[in-house]
Structure 1
Amino acid sequence: MANLALTYKDQGRWKEAEQLQVQVMEKNTTKLGADHPDTLTTMANLAIIYKDKGRWKEAEQLEVKVMETRKMKLGADHPDTLTIMANLASTLWNQGRPEEAEQLEIEIMEIRKTDLGADHPEMLTSMSNLALTYQSQRLWEEAEKLEVQVIETHKT
């Protein structure tokens, strides 16, 4: 059912995608529990559907819940936790809240740098995302510094 919901989303069949994803989320919550990884993935997927429709507040609420639960269950440095943090940062940015997005992106970047190394592709993606957030805030020097670091790291 979850896969079909994502297929509907990819086809632009938003109403069907949302209805099916909500059903999956409710069934997972009932059968597996609210903090089960499958339930959290379903919630994150529903948030993506909401984001695609510009329903930012609803997406944010789900992403915050998933992030907090994953931090408790998996830890702040788990890849699934970092993914939802990045999704939440994007949601905040799209709501005109770049300062909040920046704080999440800094946290993600620091964790990835520590866990994966300064030259890991996921860390460099985090650095690029933060640079874009700096650009949106007209923090040109900060953005340039990060962008140069990304380019220099790619050269080596």
Structure 2
Amino acid sequence: MANLAVTYSHQGKYEEAEELELKVLDVRKSVLGLEHPNTLTSMNNLAATYSQQGRYEEAGELEVKVLGLHKKVLRPEHPDTLTIMANLARIYSDQGKYEGAEELELKVLDLSKKVWGLEHPKTVHSMNNLATIYVIQGKHKEARKLWMEMPNSGNPANLAN
């Protein structure tokens, strides 16, 4: 059921995905408990579906809950926790809450450097996300500095702004 829900989501069938995700979440909570990693994955998937539907308030509220549980169960430096933090930052950005997005992306970047190192694709992706948030806020100097720190930063496209 969970895989089918993800498939529906990838196909843009968000109502069908949401319906299945709610059922899967209910079953996982009952059988596995709220703090089980699979239950947390279901909650994250549902938040993503809400976000894809433009339901950012619901997505953000659920993702905040998921992030708190991830930090408790898997610890802040766990790769899945970093993914949840990045997801929440994106939701904040989609809502125009750039200061909140920036704060989370700074945490994600700091932890990504510790967990994976500077040259890991996920760390580079985090750097780019933060730089993009800087650009949106008009903080071009900070964005340029971050892009210059990125591995293979010689790409002139990174320096355009």
Shift of 1:3: 0.7
Partner of 2:158: none
Percent identity reads: 46
Question: Which residue, 137, 151, 154 being the options, matches 2:152?
Answer: 154
Determine if contact 2:22/2:46 at 8 Å carries over to the other structure.
Answer: yes
Which piece of structure 1 moves more, 77-86 or 105-114?
105-114
Shift of 1:75: 0.7
1:125 aligns with 2:125: yes
Alpha-carbon distance in 2 for matches of 1:144, 1:11: 36
Shift of 1:116: 1.9
For residues 146 and 19 of structure 1, do their structure 2 counterparts lie closer, same or farther at Cα, with a shift above 3 Å needed?
A: same
| Misfit runs of 4+, over 3 Å | none
Q: Normalised by the size of structure 2, how large is the TM-score?
A: 0.92
Shift of 1:9: 1.6
Count of paired positions: 154
Alpha-carbon distance in 2 for matches of 1:24, 1:70: 19
Alpha-carbon distance in 1 for matches of 2:87, 2:153: 28
Shift of 1:128: 0.7
Determine if contact 2:147/2:153 at 8 Å carries over to the other structure.
Answer: no
Determine if contact 2:47/2:63 at 8 Å carries over to the other structure.
Answer: yes
CA RMSD of aligned residues (A): 1.3
For residues 155 and 101 of structure 1, do their structure 2 counterparts lie closer, same or farther at Cα, with a shift above 3 Å needed?
A: closer
Shift of 1:115: 2.3
SS of 2:63's partner is: helix
Greater fraction helix:
1
Q: Any unmatched runs of 5+ in structure 1?
A: none
Q: Normalised by the size of structure 1, how large is the TM-score?
A: 0.94
For residues 18 and 133 of structure 1, do their structure 2 counterparts lie closer, same or farther at Cα, with a shift above 3 Å needed?
A: same
Shift of 1:10: 2.0
SS of 2:51's partner is: helix
Partner of 1:71: 71
